[in-house]
A = this chain, B = another copy of it.
Amino acid sequence: MRASDKAYQALLDDIVNGALAPGVALAEVEQSARLGVSRTPLREALSQLRKDGLIEQQRGRGLTVTQISLDDIVELYELRQPLEQQAAKLAAQRGSSQIFAQLAAEFRNADRLIEGGDSGIRAYYALNERLDRAIEDAIESPYLVAALKSLHLHLARIRRLSRRDTARLKAAAIETLVIIEAIVDRNPELAASATQVHMQQSLRNSLETARSLQVTERVA
């Protein structure tokens, strides 16, 4: 593995899981020392992350991890909604019913995972990622897939907000199941509508939890 790829992956993980919090400045020498690579591959990693929109040039302070505000959540969903809708539509047209039937079966058991504490939640997230992969494989449209991947990068950052809300996770699992079943039935229009519903609910929930988190942070 190339040093630049290693640095990119490490920084990406740190940003997504919050180890590098929004607003943190990334000095080149500091980070290259921390990650054990020289400045050249580190800079390549940084330039990739800037293209991803995860870091930005801050006047004077060098590169900093981008902030995520309530506005960002709304704006992110303004991209997510049409993309996921199109993805679901195309998956319903082209996907292998068998693969999605299998995923549907697993989502019917999602409640057990969600109630299964830390490891269960992780397994549920892994299941969601497998669904995303299956959809990407099904649509076979590289440009759309690339846009989806970039989107999911940002979504992963805000997803940290709503984790541990088991009631919401269960509701989301049911909404997702409807989408999958529409794909299995090769019903693009239903898949799109079900996605629309899921998006709307997810956005509402993300905003609520984000709002309450902001309040508690202020109090703390």
Contacts and interface: CB of A to CB of B under 8 A. Distances in A.
Interface of A: 40, 43-44, 47-48, 51, 53, 72, 75-76, 78-79, 81-83, 85-86, 90, 139-144, 146-147, 150-151, 154
16 contacts: A44-B44, A47-B48, A51-B51, A53-B143, A53-B146, A72-B143, A78-B141, A79-B86, A79-B141, A79-B143, A79-B144, A82-B85, A143-B151, A146-B150, A147-B150, A147-B151
Contact of A78 (B44, B53, B72, B86): B86
Given A82-B82, A82-B85, A86-B81, A144 B48 contact: no
Determine how many copies of this chain the complex contains. Answer: 2
Contact of A75 (B53, B76, B144): B144
